[in-house]
Structure 1
Amino acid sequence: MTEKRCYTVEDLQIILDISRGTVYKLLEQQEFRWFKIGTAYRISKKSFDEWLDNKL
């Protein structure tokens, strides 16, 4: 199995134990790199992991 390169909104909800709305707020604040495919958001794993490491 290959390693994920992107997270979903649901992944971030689980990782951070936060609500869906809070994830969307983080996306709006440009806390990490993300893109949209249709209506689905994909968050750069590398960008998110770096952001999280800086928060810890």
Structure 2
Amino acid sequence: METFELPAENAIAVTEKRCYTVEDLQIILGISRGTVYKLLEQKEFRWMRIGAAYRISKKSFDAWLDEKL
């Protein structure tokens, strides 16, 4: 089996997320899980469902949060 490594300049740090989880939003906003789901239902920002998991667009959420602050 052949393996290879990408050059370091092509690596993406784990902290550079493109999506948030429901738990991430709970922590960022200091709100309950149920309240996060209400925001998702209201389509306050872009999100997608992958199986049972929700992923919220970081860019969309950050823009929404900046607008609210």
TM (norm. structure 1) is 0.98
TM (norm. structure 2) is 0.80
Unmatched 5+ stretches in structure 1: none
Unmatched 5+ stretches in structure 2: 1-12
Q: How many residues align?
A: 56
Alignment of 1:5 with 2:18, yes or no, is yes
Q: Alignment RMSD, CA only?
A: 0.6
| Bigger Rg, which one | 2
- Whose relative contact order is higher, 1 or 2, with alpha carbons under 8 Å and at least 6 apart? 1
Percent same amino acid among aligned pairs? Answer: 84
